[in-house]
Every structure is written in C-alpha cells, then in structure tokens.
C-alpha cells in the first residue's frame, strides 16, 4: 500500500511537472501576443496624442502678425542674371554692322546679348509670379539691360475655365514653334537659332495679345492654340494700322515606352508686313527625349521655319532650320551641338554682288551646373551666315557664360 | 433602340462613376487604391525609378492631369521642381491648388527635420521639413485617413463604401504594423549613413541613427573632401551600412564601402523602386534590407 501511494505520488508529480511546463509555455505565448497588442495600441495612442497635441498647439497659437500685414500674399520673385566673357574674330565696332543676306540689312541687327568682345552683362531680369484670385494667375518678367528697361512679358492667365480651356492676355511670348515661348536662360544654347533671329529678331514673336489654348480629351496629348497679337515685329510683320498677327498651332506628344517621349508641333503665323501685304510663316518642330536615368538624358530638338512675305510686286520665300543634340551626362554636366542652316533664300540678293549661298552655323557647348539654380556654359560657334562691308565674314566665337536664378523661380516647362 | 440608349446611358454613368485619381508617387497611389478600390482609377505620375524631386514633366502627363478628378500630391516641396508648370498647362480647374480635387498629404503628416533657417546656401533644403515621409509604415494610416476624408468629400454617395474600406484597411495595416515592428525590434545594428536624407522617417521610427550623408548638402553631388570626411566618420563610429537609393550614382557609395568595409544597401524610396507591387512588399523590402 505504502509503495503504491509512493508510486502514484511520483507519477502524479512528474505528470504535474509536464503539464506545468506546457501551461507556462502557453502562458508565455499569450503574454507575448498581449505584449504585441499592447505595443501596437500604445503606439497608436501615442500617435493620437501627438496629433491631439498638434491640434491643441495650433488652437493655442495666437495671431502675432502685424495687423494689416500682407506678407503671405507676396508673389514669387526671382532675380535672373546673365553675363558672359567672350572672344571673337571681329571687333566690337564692326560687329553691329554685320548683315545676314536676305534677312538683316546693315545696321538693322539688334544685339542685346553678348555684344562685346570682353565682358558682357546681358541682363538682370526680375521674374514674378502670383496667383491673383481663384480665377487668374499673373506673370511678369522685367527685363533690365544695362541701359534699358523692358517688360519682357506681363500677362494674366485663367486657372479655372471649363472644357480644358485656358485664356491668356497681356504681353507674352507666342507658343508658335518650340523655342519661341521659352526664355533665353532656359535654352540649351546662349545664342538664338539663326532662323529665329533672321525672321523675328532677338525677342522672337513677343507682343501684346490674347491666347486661347484647348487640350483635347484624348489619352494622347493633343493641344490646339490660337493667338491674336499686335504684330509689332517689323522683321516679318509690323503693319501698324491695327493688330495684324494671327497665330495657330497644334502640338502633340506620345511616349514610346517609359523613357522616350516625342513632342511635335505645327504652327502658322499669319500677319501683315509694313508694305500692307501679308506674311505667312509656317513652322514644324520635333523634340525627342530619351531619359537614361534621373539626371541623364539625350535630347534631340529640331525646327524648320518657312516665311512667305508678300511685298506687292513679289513674294519672298525664305526658310531655315536648326537641329540640336544635347547629352545630359549627370546633374552637373551637359554637352551639346547645334547645326543652323538657311535652306531657302528666294529673294533679291543681287545687290550683294557676292555668293550668298551656304548660310550655316555650327555650335558646340559644354555646360556645368553646380546646382539647379546656377549654370556655367562654355561654347564655341563657327558662323557662316554673316556679311560685313560687302564681303562674307565667317565669325568664330568662344564664350563663357554664367546664368543664375536666385530666389523663388518656378520650374520650367518641358 | 430605346433600350440601347438607356443601356449606353447607364453604362456611361457607371463608367463615369469611377473617380480618376492622379497621385504624384506610387506609394500614395497604392494607399488611395486601398480606400477607393473599384470606385477609383489611379494614375501614378512619377516613376519610382527616378528622383522624386526631378520627374521629367513630359507632355503626356498633361493629358493625365487634364481628366483627373483628384490630384494627390506628396507636398512639402517635393514636387516643386516639376509639377507646377504641368498643373498650369493641364487646363483642369478641378485640381488647381486650393480646389476641391487637390490633396496635399504633407498637410496631414507631422513633418520632421524642419529647418530653423532656410537658405539655398544649405543646398536643396525644404522649408516645410523633410518631405520623404512615405518610408514610414506608421504614417500609412494617417495618409489613408486623409484620402478617405477627401474621397467622402468628393463622392458623398459612396461615403459608407470608403469608410468601410478604410476600416478594413486599418485592421489589415495594424496587423501588418505589429509584424514589421516585431521584426524591426530584432534589429541590432542601428548605425547608418545614407546618400540623401531619404529614409529619415523610417530610421527615426525604429531608432536608427543616421550619421551623415554621401552628398555634402542636399541636392549637391558628392565631393572628394566630403567623402574623405565621411570615410573617417564611418571608421570612427563603426558604421556598417550605407543606404543607397535607386536613382543616384552608386560609385561614391561603393568607393566608401571599399575603404571602410561598410556595406552598400539599396533601399527603395517609393513603392516599386526595387520591385514589389504592394505596400507590404515595399515596407518589407526596406525592413529586410536594413535589418539583415
């Protein structure tokens, strides 16, 4: 009997020990789950508390601003500076007398930028942008040359028209073509394409007027635009009886895969020149951009422009193109080459008495951007479009330019 | 004939019922999908392959913005370099800043690293604080709440649907959070350097310490002087991990790794940057790579 009791006692105790172990394990497991849940709850509560504290703090803060302060409504203001140092095989005295046969006569060339051998301060531009109200936003570029003040652009545009419409009014750069609407500091090269310079002068098509743009409700980007402008540009238009310039364009873009985007456009500008006859300018542009990485891209941009200028007794037909290839190596360095060509010059060139064919220019550049707001650019160009004192004068130019945009300057368009 | 017309009308209303959401980045888009589910269609504007500060403003993005009912942005200045001109040209009154269909998530997130003074002399600093908050899994529900509120606001008829989706997602996400928190709790080595201050929210959440950045200042490419300094710092502090993102050059980080014996780890900054198509995969990717 005693033995039996002892044995059962022994068995029970060992059984008990096993059961105890399991129970403890189970308890531990549950404790773990509880801990995890509590931790989750704790972090949630902490977050909630933090949120509430933020709320309380915002509630608590009293108005400390000056009673009639309007600081919060200040527009974005930026200062854009552009300057250069250059060397060239033509003197500063001769340079303003160069001609482009068929386009620009002696003394007519307008040279606001990079005019002098040596140093140039091209401009200090004050750019402003502000939302006006729920319906309009306003832009202005005050273009300050060393001895000239110019309102480069000043316009308002709508933000809330229905049917994908946008209306703009004021003085602005036309969206004709690809490069016309862009500011000089956002170009890939410092110099304007020859055909733009020849047809419009350094400002391009820039006039007081109105613009209406409409984007089609398609998956592919398709945009139609119409503009009515004053037409003060005397190189191509310039009849001053009334506003004379009407512009229309279609732009479209497709993406091929993730990295290649293609943008193309056709444009027409119809105006009246100083002889009271019509001038028609047709433009075709194509831009391909292959994105190779975040800061690495290959861009090929080309434009072709043709002008038919009716002078009463005859119609001058002239055309030209430029094509540029830019390789953006990383966020600091870019390289680019550009080819300019006057492809058609159907006008009376007999007065020159020399061969005026083969009007071309070659440009190459290296760009260094320490930061997105500053840029140094070294460029070389060989220009075969110029005539000086009745003789062809090929101009070689080496230039180092610096451009900065300081302050609140918005991002640029594509 | 009449039947066909009613049918088309019916169908078109059904089609129209879907709210078109454009999200600037993929994580925001994925969270919006969790709340909107079948009632929304999501377009992500910025590919996670690229630097979120410098998305190329391709014209094709304009046609996406043109038809959007709701634009969800990260905010905090992250889109400043590419989105404003697109919004301006998209001719869509619904998604203008301040309109009903515009949602800036940064207004709902407690921002960290808010600078006490701002100047471009310090590089590309954001006055509003560090905008890369979407690496913190604990902020996902904050974002989801903001989106749910906005969707209710835009589409009141489906308010209960969005509420239910949010409730479901909250449950799912809290479950996930306890898992990832438990995983991160096992993590021992908490010293890192990073290329750009992209991962501060995740690092802060799990008590990591970021000792420095490969770039000398935000947005400025590495310099040899700064790299030498960083190498010394890594050696002195015994740092074993260099956090690299997918879009910056990797040479500098590898060079530093060679000199110090630290390891370069590529961490996704946005969903899909290193593969993975769900939110959980995105955060798991960060956790797994950080906590080896």
What is the per-residue pLDDT across A136-156, written as a single tens digit (0 to 9) for each?
Answer: 999 999 999 888 899 999 999
A8-17, A112-121, B138-147: lowest mean pLDDT where? A8-17
Query: What per-residue confidence (pLDDT) applies to A56?
Result: 46
Closest by CA position to B129, among listed B109, B111, B107: B111
Do the chains contact at B98 and A134, CB–CB below 8 Å?
yes
- Chain-chain contact of B63 with A221 (C-beta, under 8 angstroms): yes
Domains of chain A, residue spans: 1-34, 77-407
Which residues on chain A are in Cβ contact (under 8 Å) with B182? 36
Helix, strand, coil shares of chain A, percent, nearest 5, are: 20, 50, 30
Instruction: Judge: A222–B220 Cβ closer than 8 Å, yes or no.
Output: no
From A37's Cα to the closest Cα of chain B, the distance in A is 7
* End-of-domain residue from the set B154, B177, B200: B177
Amino acid A221: pLDDT: 96
Q: Domain limits at B215?
A: 188-290
Which residues does B30 contact at the CB level (< 8 Å), separation at least 6? B42, B271, B278, B279, B282
CATH code of the domain in which B67 resides = 3.40.50.1980
Mean pLDDT of A296-314: 97
- Nearest CB to B51; choose among A134, A254, A294: A294
| Chain A residue closest in CA terms to B62 | A221
- Contact of A213 with chain B, judged by CB distance below 8 Å, is answered with yes
pLDDT digits (tens, 9 = 90+) for A230-240: 999 999 999 99
- A:67-106 residues touching chain B, CB 8 A cutoff: none
Average pLDDT, stretch B231-245? 95
For A14-28, A96-110, A329-343, B73-87, which range has the lowest pLDDT when averaged over its residues? A14-28
Would B183 be classed as within a structural domain?
Answer: no
A379-407: average pLDDT: 96
**Among the listed ranges A69-78, A312-321, A328-337, which one has the minimum average pLDDT value?**
A69-78
User: DSSP labels for A80-143?
Assistant: EEEEEEEEESS-TTTGGG-BBTTTB-TTT----SS-SSEEEEEEEEEEEEEE-SSSEEEEEEEE
**pLDDT value at residue B35:** 97
Whether B214 and B245 share a structural domain: yes
Show which of B177, B212, B236 is a domain's final residue.
B177
Assigned domain for B217 exists = yes
Helix (H) or strand (E) holding A280: strand A278-293
Of A302, A292, A303, the closest CA to residue A334 belongs to A292
Is some CB atom of chain A closer than 8 A to the CB atom of B177?
yes
Hey, is the C-beta of A26 within 8 angstroms of any chain B C-beta? Answer: no
pLDDT at A14: 53
pLDDT of residue B180: 96
The pLDDT value given to residue B277:
93
DSSP type of residue A413: P
pLDDT score of B261: 94
pLDDT value at A40 more than 50 = yes
Banded pLDDT at B222 (limits 50, 70, 90)? very high
Inside any domain, residue B182: no
Residue with tokens 């995740």: B202
Contact pairs from chain A to chain B, CB under 8 Å: 121
The CA dihedral of A93, A95, A97, A99, to the nearest 10 degrees, is 170
Contact B247 A39 (CB under 8 A): no
Q: Which pTM was predicted?
A: 0.86
Q: Is there a single domain that holds both residue B74 and residue B156?
A: yes
The predicted pLDDT at position A6 comes to: 53
Task: Tell me whether residue B22 is in a domain.
Answer: yes
Judge whether B138 lies within some domain.
yes
Whether residues B173 and B192 share a domain: the answer is no
Among A residues 148-187, those touching chain B with beta carbons less than 8 Å apart: 157, 159-162, 164-166
Q: In the prediction, which pLDDT does A142 show?
A: 96
Looking at the 3D structure of chain B, how many domains does it have?
2
Q: Is A119 on the interface with B (CB under 8 A)?
A: no
On chain A, the residues whose CB falls within 8 A of the CB of B62 are 215, 221, 223
Across chain A, mean pLDDT equals 90
* CB atoms A36 and B80 under 8 Å: no
Residues on chain A touching B63 (C-beta within 8 angstroms): 215, 218-222
Interface check for B120 against chain A (CB to CB < 8 A): the answer is: yes
User: A214 — contact with chain B (CB < 8 Å)?
Assistant: yes
Q: What is the pLDDT of residues B251-264, one digit of tens each?
A: 999 999 999 999 99
Mean pLDDT (whole number) for A317-331: 97
B80 touching chain A per CB within 8 A: yes
What are A44-92's pLDDT values in tens digits?
A: 676 666 555 555 444 566 777 788 888 888 999 999 999 999 999 999 9
What is the distance, to the nearest Å, from the Cα of residue A138 to the centroid of all Cα atoms in its chain? Answer: 17
Residues B68 and B158 in one domain: yes
* Residue after which a domain boundary falls, among B143, B177, B211: B177
Q: Which two tokens stand for residue A159?
A: 């933000």
Q: Within an 8 Å CB–CB cutoff, is residue A371 touching chain B? A: yes
Taking the Cβ of residue B54 and every Cβ of chain A, the question of whether any pair is shorter than 8 Å is answered with: yes
Give contacts of B221 with chain A, Cβ < 8 Å: 330-332
Inside any domain, residue B79: yes
Pairing of β A278-293 and β A221-229: unpaired
> Above 0.90 for ipTM, yes or no?
no
Q: Report pLDDT for B6.
A: 52
Q: CB neighbours (10 Å) of residue B92?
A: 25
pLDDT above 60 for B220: yes
Mean pLDDT of chain B: 92
Give the pLDDT score at A57. 47
Helices (H), B157-223: 159-185, 200-205
CATH of domain A77-407: 2.40.160.10
Mutation for A interface: B51, B53, B59, most A CBs within 10 A? B59
Find the residue in B nearest to A39 (Cα): B178
The CA distance from A129 to A141, in Å, is 9
CA B208, B212, B218: angle at the middle one, nearest 5?
120
Q: How far is B30 from chain A (nearest CA, A)?
A: 20
Token duo for residue B86: 């697109």
> How confident is the model over B9-62, as pLDDT tens digits?
445 444 556 999 999 999 999 999 999 999 999 999 999 999 999 999 999 999
Q: Is B206 inside a domain boundary? A: yes
Q: Is A412 on the interface with B (CB under 8 A)?
A: yes
**Residue B155 pLDDT:** 95
Q: Rounded to whole angstroms, what are the CA distances from B30 to B27, B65, B150?
A: 5, 18, 15
Asked if residue B205 and residue B96 are part of one domain, the reply reads no
Chain A residues close to B101, C-beta within 8 Å: none
Q: Please indicate, yes or no, whether residues B155 and B200 belong to a single structural domain of this protein.
A: no
Please tell me the distance from the alpha carbon of residue A113 to that of residue A122, in angstroms, as a whole number: 5
Task: Quickly state the pLDDT bin for B68 (edges 50, 70, 90).
Answer: very high
State residue B117's pLDDT score: 83
The string of DSSP codes covering A133-197 is: SSSEEEEEEEEEETTEEEEEEEEEEES--STTEEEEEEEEE--STTTTTS-GGGSSSSSPPHHHH
Residue-wise pLDDT for A89-132, tens only, equals 999 999 999 999 999 999 999 999 999 999 999 999 999 999 99
Q: Which residues partner with A269 through β-bridges? A: A247, A281
Contact B110 A54 (CB under 8 A): yes
């Amino acid at each position: 009997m005693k033995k039996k009791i002892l044995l059962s006692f022994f068995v029970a105790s060992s059984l008990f020990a096993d059961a105890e172990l399991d129970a403890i394990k189970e308890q531990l497991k549950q404790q773990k789950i509880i801990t995890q849940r509590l931790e989750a709850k704790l972090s949630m509560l902490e977050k909630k508390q933090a949120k509430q504290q933020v709320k309380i703090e915002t509630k608590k803060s009293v108005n400390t601003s000056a009673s009639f302060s309007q600081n919060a409504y200040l527009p974005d203001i930026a200062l854009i500076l552009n300057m250069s140092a250059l060397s060239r095989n033509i003197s500063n005295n001769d340079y303003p007398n160069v001609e482009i046969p068929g386009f620009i006569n002696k003394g007519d060339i307008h040279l606001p930028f990079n005019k002098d051998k040596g140093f140039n301060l091209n401009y200090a531009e004050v750019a402003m942008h502000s939302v006006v109200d729920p319906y309009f936003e306003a832009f202005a570029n005050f273009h300050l040359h060393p001895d000239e003040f110019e309102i480069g652009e000043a316009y308002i545009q709508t933000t809330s028209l229905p049917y994908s419409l946008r209306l703009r009014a004021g003085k602005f750069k036309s969206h004709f073509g690809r490069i016309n609407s862009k500011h000089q500091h956002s170009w890939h090269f410092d110099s304007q394409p020859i055909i733009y310079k020849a047809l419009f002068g350094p400002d391009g098509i820039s006039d007081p007027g109105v613009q209406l743009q409409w984007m089609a409700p398609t998956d592919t980007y398709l945009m139609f635009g119409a503009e009515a402008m004053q037409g003060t540009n005397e190189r191509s238009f310039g009849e001053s009886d009334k506003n004379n310039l009407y512009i229309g364009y279609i732009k479209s873009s497709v993406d091929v895969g993730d990295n290649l985007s293609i943008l193309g456009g056709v444009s027409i500008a119809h105006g009246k020149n100083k002889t009271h006859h019509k001038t028609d300018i047709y433009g075709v542009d194509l831009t391909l951009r292959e994105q190779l990485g975040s800061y690495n891209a290959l861009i090929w941009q080309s434009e072709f422009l043709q002008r038919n200028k009716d002078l009463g007794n005859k119609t001058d037909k002239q055309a030209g193109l430029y094509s540029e290839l830019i390789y953006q190596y990383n966020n600091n360095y870019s390289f680019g080459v550009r080819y300019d060509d006057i492809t058609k010059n159907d006008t009376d060139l007999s007065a020159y008495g020399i061969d005026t064919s083969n009007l071309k220019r070659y440009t190459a550049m290296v760009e260094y951007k320490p930061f997105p707001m500053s840029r140094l650019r070294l460029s070389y160009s060989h220009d075969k479009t110029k005539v000086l004192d009745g003789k062809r004068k090929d101009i070689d130019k080496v230039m180092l330019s610096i451009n900065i945009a300081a302050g609140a300057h918005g991002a640029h368009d594509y | 004939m009449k039947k066909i017309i009613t049918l088309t009308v019916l169908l078109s209303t059904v089609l129209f019922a879907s709210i078109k959401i454009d999200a600037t980045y993929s994580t925001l888009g994925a969270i919006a999908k969790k709340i909107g589910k079948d009632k929304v269609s999501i377009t992500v504007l910025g590919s996670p392959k690229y630097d979120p500060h410098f998305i190329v403003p391709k014209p094709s993005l304009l046609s996406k913005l043109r038809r959007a009912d709701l634009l969800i942005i990260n905010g905090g200045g992250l889109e400043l370099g590419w989105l404003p001109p697109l919004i301006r040209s998209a001719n869509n009154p619904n998604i203008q800043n301040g309109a009903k269909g515009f949602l800036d998530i940064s207004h709902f997130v407690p921002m960290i690293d808010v600078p006490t003074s701002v100047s471009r002399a310090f590089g590309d600093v954001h006055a509003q604080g560090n905008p890369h908050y979407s690496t913190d899994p604990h902020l996902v529900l904050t974002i989801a709440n903001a989106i749910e509120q906005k969707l209710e606001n835009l589409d009141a008829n489906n308010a209960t649907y969005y509420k239910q989706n949010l409730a479901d997602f909250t449950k799912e996400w809290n479950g996930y959070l306890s898992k990832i928190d438990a995983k991160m709790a096992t993590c021992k080595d908490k010293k890192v350097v990073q290329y750009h201050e992209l991962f501060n929210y995740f690092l802060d959440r799990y008590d990591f310490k970021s000792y420095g950045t490969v770039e000398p200042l935000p947005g400025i490419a590495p310099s040899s002087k700064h790299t030498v300094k960083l190498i010394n710092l890594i050696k002195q502090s015994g740092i074993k991990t260099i956090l690299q993102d997918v879009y910056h050059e990797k040479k500098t980080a590898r060079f530093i790794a060679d000199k110090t014996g630290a390891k370069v780890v590529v961490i996704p900054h946005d969903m899909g940057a290193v593969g993975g198509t769900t939110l959980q995969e995105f955060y798991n990717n960060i956790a797994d790579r950080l906590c080896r």
